Amino acid sequence: MNKPSSKLLLWSPRILGILVCVFVSLFALDAFDGKRVAQALPDFAIHVAPVLVLLAIIAVSWRHEWVGGIVFTGLAIAYGFFARDHLYWVVTIATPLLIVGVLFLWSWRHHAALRSTT
């Protein structure tokens, strides 16, 4: 794989992971639906907690890509199982998680192969 594709493979799971966090955090804004800010903050905190977990996973995966691959793929499968009655939800949430997980695993395998040849 040439240098530009290697860099793309390195950065794409990280950037897409952050974009997934931004997307999922948009759902937390539902907590402010017609409420005062002080009343909505506890609901907002509960809604944004999964995003903070995803950001922590991305932080760990920055150095250990296999962690991001396993966790994001596992989260996609778990979400798909628990929301199986709502196909649209599964497609909207689980698919981006799965893509990020697969990209982390691919990047990990690629960079492991590069380290073994040098």
Q: Where are the domains of the chain?
A: 3-117
Angle, in degrees to the nearest 10, between helices 3-26 and 95-117:
150
pLDDT mean across residues, the chain: 92
Short-list 117, 118, 109, 107, CA closest to 5: 107
Q: Are 104 and 69 in contact (CB under 8 A)?
A: yes
Q: What is the pLDDT of residues 28-83, one digit of tens each?
A: 888 888 888 888 899 999 999 999 999 999 999 999 999 999 999 999 999 999 99
Closest CA to 2 of 112, 110, 117: 110
- Cα–Cα distance, 1 to 107 (Å, whole number): 12
From CA 13, how far away is CA 100, in angstroms rounded? 5
Compute the average pLDDT of residues 81-90: 95
Rounded distance between C-alpha atoms, residue 112 and residue 31, angstroms: 43
Q: pTM for the full model?
A: 0.88
